[in-house]
Structure 1
Amino acid sequence: MTNRISEISDFMLQLDVLKSVNRRTYINGGERVENSAEHSWHLAMACWAFAELLQDDYDVPKLIQLALIHDLGEIGAGDTFLYSSHRDDAHIQERESVKQIASHSGNPIGNIVELWEEQEAGESKEAKLLKVIDRLLPFLHNITSEGRAWQDNGIHKNQVLKMHQFIENENPEIYGWFISKLEHAVEQGWLDAS
């Protein structure tokens, strides 16, 4: 038993590395950027809340699991900024990192790779909601920080629209909220109108 506790403890320390992966999104209040572990926790809570709000028979425990592991690959790959030109290839290195994490001798969770692949494919009801909320949270942080990350990185309205367009098909009500907040950000000068 002592050896198993030591192995799982080592696994927990490997997962702890996610706290060291900084994102470009500022936390509420804008005093610093968030890390990927904070984002994963926030995403899990937001998905749970939206699942309750939408009342669409989501498998909430599975949804929370998907949220908690969705950025696990960043332990080895780092965070890829939403508007990066390397975004389309990020999943390759992330997938290898997830496989390495899952193969750790102290990992008792047998379906990490399968769950990561499910959220990556984005086809299940839960994975679709996760993708929507994963896009909304950094957007919300940009609204509360008056567009700080957008301004830091020279992001324009058309880029934000392009990366959030899929939400219209997934949930028109959320998309309508997004558009109203986007227009407000442009009117306030937090986001370049082009």
Structure 2
Amino acid sequence: MLTSSKPLSNQTLVSGIDVNDITHFLLELDALKRVNRRSYVTHTTRRENSAEHSWHLAMACWSIAEMFELDVDHEKLLKMALVHDLGEIDAGDTFLFASSRHAAHIEERAGIARLQAERGNGIANLAEIWEEQETGSSKETQLLRVVDRLLPFLLNLNTEGKTWAESEVKRSQVAAALAFIEGSFPTIHDWLTENIAYAVQQGWLIDS
């Protein structure tokens, strides 16, 4: 049975907060669900959207950090995972192997600046958190980057390489994109290397 409890909100702040502003910002965030990625969701024929990827990224980072007992700040890690793709609301998703990928961060950074300034945003350091995951070198950032590359690889592996096949992706492209993981997380890199070979064997990646 529900019982009465003390208010959750700080009553001294309530008079200066407009719930309409809050819901405005929440709907701005909702737009991430409309950004489709290249990866396909397993056991379906549809593509993953960026909001789903952000959730998957956060959960995967959390689980891996716990499993390997990594010395990371979990709150910081999860916040970075959640803001990771917010810039795509304005910029859209850029395929890992697209020639324009090097410039994607410019539009994404502008999108983050817009969100930071939106009415109803209660996250004062939103842009700061995004910038750290984008350009930082902390342990949390390193893990985030590893898992961000692991997940689309995993989805490709479990959808018969559908995205790779559609874009005629080569083994060398995938290996190059994942090479940095060898230094930061050798165990995962070894698994990826084994499965790159498997994907080539299955004909999902072009062997060149």
TM-score range, shorter chain: over 0.9
The answer to whether 1:42 aligns with 2:49 is no
Query: Cα offset for 1:154?
Result: 1.1
Q: Distance in 2 between matches of 1:23 and 1:65?
A: 21
Q: Which structure has the larger Rg over C-alpha atoms? A: 2
**Residue number in structure 2 paired with 1:98:** 112
For 2:51 and 2:99, locate their aligned partners in 1 and report how far apart those are by CA, in whole Å.
24
- From 165, 170, 180, the equivalent of 2:179 is 165
C-alpha deviation, 1:41, in angstroms: 0.4
Counterpart in the other structure of 2:3: none
| Counterpart-to-counterpart distance in 2, 1:116 and 1:37 | 15
> What is the CA-CA distance between 1:122 and the residue it aligns to?
3.6
Of 159-168 and 21-30, deviating more is 21-30
User: In structure 2, what is the Cα distance between the partners aligned to 1:169 and 1:103?
Assistant: 37
Does residue 147 in structure 1 map to residue 152 in structure 2? Answer: no
Hey, what does 2:68 align to over in structure 1? 54
* 1:113 and 2:159 aligned: no
Structure 2 match to 1:85 = 99
- Deviating above 4 A after TM superposition, structure 1's stretches of 4 or more consecutive aligned residues are none
Question: So what's the TM-score if we normalise by structure 1?
Answer: 0.97
Q: Within 1, Cα distance between the matches of 2:68 and 2:163? A: 29
Q: Does 1:28 align with 2:18?
A: no
Find 1:132's aligned residue among 146, 169, 186. 146
Within 1, Cα distance between the matches of 2:39 and 2:89? 17
Separation of aligned partners in 2, 1:159 and 1:4: 49
Q: Give percent identity, aligned residues only.
A: 51
Please give the alpha-carbon distance, in whole angstroms, between the structure 1 residues aligned to 2:201 and 2:84. 33
Stretches of structure 2 lacking an aligned partner (at least 5 in a row): 1-13
Number of matched pairs: 194
* Separation (CA, whole Å) in 2 of partners of 1:32 and 1:102: 31
Which amino acid in the other structure matches residue 31 of structure 2?
Answer: V
